[in-house]
Chains A and B, each alone.
Chain A
Amino acid sequence: DIQMTQSPSSLSASVGDRVTITCRASQGISNSLAWYRQKPGKAPKLLLYAASTLESGVPSRFSGSGSGTDFTLTISSLQPEDFATYYCQQYYNTPPITFGQGTRLEIK
């Protein structure tokens, strides 16, 4: 199984900040990576797929990059609704589909 490791596990930031979250795969996954945002008590929401393709309707402040084993999610200017938990997910070698452990983004 492919293991996905996110860093950091948590971070604090302010509205307007630029933040980056990293996701590392235990083996190469090409660009078969998705990112989700999950607000407390809600279902996850797809932000990006194919590592860097923005899902329809997702604000352009979200961007993704990477290929192979190392990936990043960048939020260019944090908005209040972005304080949530973020997950990466690989879909290169399935089953099983695997998720990172999550990165909790908190207000500083």
Chain B
Amino acid sequence: EVQVVESGGDLVQPGGSLRLSCAASTFTFSSYSMNWVRQAPGKGLEWVSYISARGSTIYYADSVKGRFTISRDNAKNSLYLQMHSLRAEDTAVYYCASEGNWGSYFNYWGQGTPVTVSS
């Protein structure tokens, strides 16, 4: 069974930084594009960032552009999200999700890691 496990979520002060990690197993990680999706408390789903299978193409939501950086290490089957200049509105559960074979829908999700931005 495919496993996707996020880590790194924490309580951080406004303006602070945090690095999230996502470890994937039992699927060919290096063949799939990956994404970060977040969900603020009691709210809906918000796409955050995309990285292609080899890391050559990257996209960000306008709400995080210039503050967040997505990266991956295919040798370690790992995805990362470096977050800087964090704001209260970045408070959310962050999910790592892989894309399906036929388009940018999300077939495998991790359990999520919570990020709280508060003083």
Query: Which residues of A pack against B, CB within 8 Å?
Result: 32, 34, 36, 38, 42-46, 49-50, 55, 87, 89, 91, 94-102
Contact status A50-B103, CB under 8 Å: yes
Given known pairs A95-B50, A95-B59, A96-B62, the reply for A49 and B105 (CB within 8 Å) is: yes
Number of interface residues of B (CB under 8 A): 22
- Determine the distance from Cα of A31 to Cα of B29 in the docked complex, in whole angstroms: 26
Q: Are B46 and A49 in contact (CB under 8 A)?
A: no
Determine which of A38, A42, A91, A100 lies in contact with B105 in the assembled complex, contact meaning CB atoms within 8 Å.
Answer: A91
- Given known contacts A49-B103, A96-B61, is B95 in contact with A101 (CB within 8 Å)? no
A55's nearest neighbour on chain B, judged by CB, is B107
Cross-chain contact B44 with A99 (CB below 8 angstroms): yes
Contact A49 B102 (CB under 8 A): yes
Contact B44 A87 (CB under 8 A): yes
